[in-house]
Structure 1
Amino acid sequence: MLEIILKLVAALLVGGVLGWEREKRQKTAGLRTYMLVSLGSAVFMIAGLHLQEDVGPTELSAVRIDVSRVFAAIIGGIGFLGAGSIIESRGGVRGITTAAGVWVAASGGIACGCGYYDLALVATLLAWVVIVGVGRFERWHFESENE
């Protein structure tokens, strides 16, 4: 049980780190959305891995557990959320960074659900650098270019 709690808390932290800046900038998907996406992804992965472990190797083709299908299902669901954040654009194409951030938050949740904390940490830090650092650079560069 402690391992499950660790995985889920790590997933919440991944989503929280990425969602904080989006919340601060009042984007469509903010802190809670990112945290829930990451948490949900981790839960699906943990459940898939436990189910695979419980069923074990079997000769029966009807009882085959393929955890990679869990990845595919998560990616499909996140694509739906991402499209929703892009469509809510009010006349222009907006929300693509938010959609990409939600996608990365889901990947961090998947990594935490699998117990790959080092992967989740590095990916989260890199995504944070892109969202915050590159975002600041873009605003600075384009503001100075327009002057």
Structure 2
Amino acid sequence: MSYLAAKYAHLRCVHFVRNVQGLRDSGEEIVADLKATNVKVVYVNFGDFAFSPHTLATILGEPLDLDFQPFEPPGPVWVRFSDSMGGLSFRLDGLALIIDRADILFERRMDEVYDLIDSFLSQLHLWYDRKKPCNLFFQLEKSDLVRRYFGS
């Protein structure tokens, strides 16, 4: 799947991206389309947080500007994260959450990846019912193009 999907509201919303060849040719166009459709792009390079003591929910919650932060135990971390993500569906026209260096995330925090995907999918209907795109991208290979186009 490519980052072209970020501007569409659909139920195929969790993407595992390896090849970013399409960004070479259409990266600027993709970014322009997302801006034109008011899709908020949140880029997190997990390589920068590989040794963070914080939960994945807290690491993602800050750049997403979620309510109820920080998402740390005790308490239902992923329930609060999901509620906050659902709240964004009322404030944003769309969301593309891009996790760069997801290969490191999968290697170090697989349990949290499952929780993230479950939490993400549990609130998706709030976006979909409003016909607003909400997509989660796991960039599985290092790519300077992903950081270049989405990291600023």
- Taking structure 2 as the reference length, what is the TM-score of the superposition? 0.31
Larger relative contact order (CA 8 Å, sep ≥ 6): 2
Question: Structure 1 or 2: larger helix share?
Answer: 1
Structure with larger Rg:
1
Question: Structure 1 or 2: larger strand share?
Answer: 2
